[in-house]
Structure 1
Amino acid sequence: MASHFFTSCRRARAAAFLLTAALLSGCATFGTDGLVPSTAPAELSTPAASAVAGDLVPRLAEQIGQGKATFVLKPDGSAFGSALETSLRGWGYAVTTDQETKDPKAIRLAYVLASMDGQTLARLTTGSIEIGRVYSATATGALPASPVSVMKRGGEGA
């Protein structure tokens, strides 16, 4: 009976976490002035950051095509920002942090990671695509704890 109670509590916490994330998802959308600041928790370890970036970038590539874009990042200096840039380059993408780039095809990319109860919600956002997933930290990195969520907004391309 107690084990059922704890399983129910764990599910309720996960559901509350996902609901909160969904409600806050508008906070990372784009305004008229471009990207929101990217944020990742300082306590996210380098191996966990690499695992999360290594899992999300292929999902992004599925949506826009591998190595067919230049991404404009507004990094926050976190381990995840570095891991994301490395993973994007590993998939053949060009990456710039120059917010004044004149390339009309460049894709602005923001990330937001939020931690709660030992899990981390990670989201990558462009002007037309948002990809998110919950991860659980492990001793060697991070493992997916939810399905991938992909939201496409109106318009063409990423």
Structure 2
Amino acid sequence: MNIELFHSRGLRPLRSFAAACSLAIFLSGCQSIGTDGIVASSAPPEISGPAASAIAGDMVSRLAEQIGPGKVTVVLKADTSPFGQALEAALKGWGYAVVTDQKTDSSTKVIQLAYVILPFDGQVLARLSTNSVEIGRAYTVTATGATPASALSLMRRG
């Protein structure tokens, strides 16, 4: 292999591969609640409001592509973190009814939703999980928002 060629291309492909591997490991985490296999929700409080809103808006739009339009009730853990609040607002913006600790009647179709936001290598890894689907993506976070830094990762459960 020509070393000059390797250096002229830089380490970008290697970093992209490392980010993809990290995202795959992140998505295969085993931190679950109950017997349904959904991960426990968590988000660091230091994510700014604009970044949390950008990430939540993007992730909910991708989730809506997978679970359908907002005709179901989403059960979400109550959370006062900027991301928890932004996620609830984004879900409502897409037409989903959101309950946090309330009971729903047995005729209401509900989807349990959990999330994880983790800082990693200067980026933020985000994952949304339901009983049927998990989506994840890496984001570059700035003071004014966040932009996707990876392709969307999608896993369907049978």
2-side partners of 1:133 and 1:35: how far apart?
17
1-side partners of 2:103 and 2:116: how far apart?
22
The alignment's TM-score, normalised by the length of structure 2, stands at: 0.82
Q: Is the 8 A contact 1:37 1:75 kept in 2?
A: no
Report percent identity of matched pairs.
57
Secondary structure of 2:98's match?
strand
Aligned-pair Cα RMSD in Å? 2.3
Secondary structure of 1:77's match?
coil
Aligned to 2:25: 20
Count of residue pairs the alignment pairs up: 152
- The verdict on how the C-alpha distance between 1:50 and 1:115 changes in structure 2, with shifts beyond 3 A counting, is same
- What runs of 5+ residues in structure 2 fail to find an aligned partner? none
Q: Deviations over 1:8-57 (max 9, x none)?
A: 55335424422431442x324x5327854310112211100000011011
Work out whether 1:60 is the aligned partner of 2:66.
no
Letter matched to residue 97 of structure 1: T
2-side partners of 1:82 and 1:146: how far apart?
24
- The verdict on how the C-alpha distance between 1:23 and 1:153 changes in structure 2, with shifts beyond 3 A counting, is closer
- What runs of 5+ residues in structure 1 fail to find an aligned partner? none
Secondary structure of 1:60's match?
helix
Q: Is the 8 A contact 1:49 1:79 kept in 2?
A: yes
Deviation at 1:59, TM superposition (A): 1.0
